[in-house]
Chains A and B, each alone.
Chain A
Amino acid sequence: MEYLLTAGFAFLVINAMLVSASVLVYAERRVSGFMQNRPGPNRVGPLGLLQPFADVLKFVLKEDVQPAAANTFIHSLAPVLMVVIAMSTASLIPFAEGVVVADLNVGVLMLLALTSVTVYGITLAGWSSNSKYSLLGGLRSAAQMVSYELSMGLAVISVVLVAGSLNLMEIVENQASGGALLGWNAVRNPIGCLIFIVTAFAETNRAPFDLPEAEQELVGGYHTEYSGMKFGMFFLAEYVNWFIAAFMIVTLFFGGYLIPFQPQLLALAPGLADSVLFPFLQFGSLMLKVSFFVFLFIWVRWTFPRFKYNQLMMIGWKYLLPISLANAILVALGVIFFQTYF
Chain B
Amino acid sequence: MAAAPFMFFLLATVSVVAAIGMLVARSPVYSALWLVLNLFCVAGLYLTMNATFIGVIQILVYAGAIMVLFLFVIMLLNLDALPQLEEIDWGMVAGFVLGVVVLSQLLYVIASGFDLPMEAMGASAETGSAESLGIALYTRYALHVEVAAVLLLAATVGAVMLAQKRFE
Contact = CB atoms under 8 A, between A and B. Distances in A.
Interface string A3-43: 00000000000000000000000000000000000000000
Interface string B51-86: 011001101100111001101100110000000000
Contact count band on B: 20 to 34
Given A135-B75, A166-B130, A116 B64 contact: yes
Contacts of B130: 105-106, 166
Contacts of B65: 116, 146, 149
A139 B71 CA distance: 10
A109 B68 contact: no
Nearest to B76: A139
A313 interface: no
B71 A123 contact: yes
Given A104-B52, A106-B53, A123-B71, A117 B76 contact: no
A120 B62 CA distance: 13
B41 interface: no
Nearest to A77: B33
Query: Which secondary structure dominates where chain A touches chain B?
Result: helix
A116 B40 CA distance: 13
Contacts of A110: 56
Contact of A109 (B29, B53, B63, B75): B53
Chain A: interface size category: 20 to 34
A146 B68 contact: yes
B129 interface: yes
16 contacts: A74-B33, A104-B52, A105-B125, A109-B53, A109-B57, A116-B64, A117-B59, A117-B64, A120-B68, A126-B75, A135-B75, A139-B75, A142-B68, A145-B68, A146-B65, A149-B64
Interface of B: 29, 33, 36, 52-53, 56-57, 59-60, 63-65, 68-69, 71-72, 75-76, 125, 129-130
